């Protein structure tokens, strides 16, 4: 069964303290891995899409990387405004109707 697991469930960091969020997946035939940010009371906001192992994408203090079994979202020198829930999603398989599977998210809290 295809699965997406995010860790940790929650993370508290001091402002400026860099860290990484993990998204591990077991799927047959990865077609794409997506990272989203979700603020309380709002819909998920797209951050990155990664398609193949070794690929990296960056946006401000965030960098996403992908291996054959997991993806990391690295946060460098975070600020309080980076506090949010970060969601990982994976699309897998060969069928045109294959769905996207979401992880349960990591709640990130950056303390000033």
Please state whether beta strands 10-14 and 30-38 pair in parallel, antiparallel, or not at all (unpaired). unpaired
Sign, Cα dihedral of 9, 12, 13, 15: positive
In terms of CB distance, is 77 or 100 closer to other proteins? 100
Q: Which helix (H) or strand (E) holds 80?
A: none
Residue 19 engages other proteins in binding (rule: CB under 8 A): no
Sheet strands (E) in 39-105: 45-50, 56-59, 62-66, 70-75, 84-92, 100-102
Residue 49 engages other proteins in binding (rule: CB under 8 A): yes
Residue 96 engages other proteins in binding (rule: CB under 8 A): yes
- Token pair, residue 63, equals 């960098």
Near other proteins by CB under 8 A: residue from 25, 34, 72, 86 = 34
Near other proteins by CB under 8 A: residue from 91, 106, 108, 110 = 91
Would you tell me which residues interact with other proteins (CB under 8 A)? 31-32, 34, 36, 41-46, 49, 87, 89, 91, 96-100, 102-105
């Amino acid at each position: 069964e295809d699965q997406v697991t995010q860790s940790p469930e929650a993370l508290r960091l001091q402002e400026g303290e860099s860290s990484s969020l993990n998204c591990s997946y077991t799927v047959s035939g990865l077609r794409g891995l997506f990272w989203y940010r979700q603020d309380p009371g709002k819909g998920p906001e797209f951050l990155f899409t990664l398609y193949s192992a070794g690929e990296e994408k960056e946006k401000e203090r965030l960098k996403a990387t992908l291996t054959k079994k997991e993806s990391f979202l690295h946060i460098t020198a975070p600020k309080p405004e980076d506090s949010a829930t970060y969601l990982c999603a994976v699309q897998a398989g060969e069928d045109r109707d294959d769905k996207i599977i979401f992880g349960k998210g990591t709640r990130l809290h950056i303390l000033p």
